[in-house]
């Protein structure tokens, strides 16, 4: 497990300050990547190379350092070229296609416009790249967004269980809104969880507990569904340490061994 050598703080909204602070560091990093370190270990001369992995950045910083448009862009993903419309029609099958080198190539196309296209045509060609990328990031998903994504799904499941959608799959929008209002009111009363417009980390962590499931079960008529909800939350809590830890193999080896099995249940 790699530990950071230093910590730097900068406001990613301030592009000039960010590049002024990080550019010398990036230049030094590039120089180190092409060099070798030779050390004598146990009487044997060994050669080491430097490898840097840029991970753990949030979406805003990834967009800034990889030259992508801000989060309000039509191109909503930092990992692929999907647009908002495409993502709304396909929520599952996407691949990681963006790369640092490709972003650099697209920036050159954006800057020089070799095909003499209109702004809209050019923007479509470069897929949201609008500035020069200056840090290579490794595609990854951080623990916070794992929490948020899972909590958003559980929040929907709770609503569907309250409305017993398995009995009435064609429920109207009005009915579904009532289920959400019922859930929000109950969570506020029992768990002191105030309704939110958009899922965030604090709400996600408070929502994903055994206490929350017990509170939701009070609104679900079927005992059989109670057990299913409890089992589902129990599985989630068993799997959570794997993506919350820095090195699962060292920090939670048992959870890591059971992770694949639990994910298929």
DSSP track, the chain: ----S------TT-HHHHHHHHHHHHHHHHHHHT-EEEEEETTEEEEEE---------HHHHHHHTTBPPTTSSB--SSS--BHHHHHH-SS-------HHHHHHHHHHHHH-TT---HHHHHHHHTTB-S---S-------HHHHHHHHHHHHHHHHHHHHTTTTT-TT--HHHHHHHHHHHHHHHHHHH-----SS--HHHHHHHSSHHHHHHHHTT---HHHHHHHHHHHHHHHHHHHHHHSS-HHHH-HHHHHHHHHHHT-
pTM recorded for the entire structure: 0.58
265 residues of the chain, pLDDT tens digit each: 556 666 666 666 777 888 888 888 889 988 998 899 999 988 999 999 988 877 667 788 889 999 999 888 999 888 889 898 888 787 556 677 899 999 999 999 999 999 999 999 999 999 999 999 998 887 766 677 788 888 989 999 999 999 999 998 888 999 999 999 999 999 999 999 998 887 888 999 999 999 999 999 999 999 999 999 999 999 999 999 988 887 788 888 898 888 888 877 7
């Amino acid at each position: 497990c790699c530990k950071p050598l230093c910590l730097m703080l900068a406001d990613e909204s301030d592009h000039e300050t960010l590049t002024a602070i990080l550019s010398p560091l990036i230049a030094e990093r590039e120089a180190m990547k092409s060099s070798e370190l030779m050390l004598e270990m146990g009487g044997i001369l060994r050669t080491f190379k430097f490898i840097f992995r840029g991970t753990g950045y949030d979406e805003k910083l990834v967009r800034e350092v990889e030259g992508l448009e801000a989060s309000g862009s039509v191109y909503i993903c930092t990992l692929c070229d999907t647009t908002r419309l495409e993502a709304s029609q396909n929520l599952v099958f996407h691949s990681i296609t963006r790369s640092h080198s490709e972003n650099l190539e697209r920036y050159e196309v954006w800057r020089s416009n070799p095909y003499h296209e209109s702004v809209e045509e050019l923007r479509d060609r470069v897929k949201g790249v609008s500035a020069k990328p200056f840090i290579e990031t490794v595609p990854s998903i951080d623990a916070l967004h794992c929490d948020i994504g899972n909590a958003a799904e559980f929040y929907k499941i709770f609503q569907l269980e309250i409305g017993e959608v398995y009995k009435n799959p064609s429920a109207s929008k009005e009915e579904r809104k009532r289920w959400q209002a019922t859930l929000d009111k109950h969570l506020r009363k029992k768990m002191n969880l105030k309704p939110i417009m958009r899922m965030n980390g604090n709400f996600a962590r408070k929502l994903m507990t055994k206490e929350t499931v017990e509170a939701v079960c009070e609104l679900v008529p079927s005992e059989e569904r109670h057990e299913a909800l409890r089992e589902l939350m129990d599985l989630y809590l068993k799997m959570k340490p794997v993506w919350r830890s820095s090195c699962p193999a060292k920090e939670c080896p048992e959870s890591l061994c059971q992770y694949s099995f639990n994910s298929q249940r």
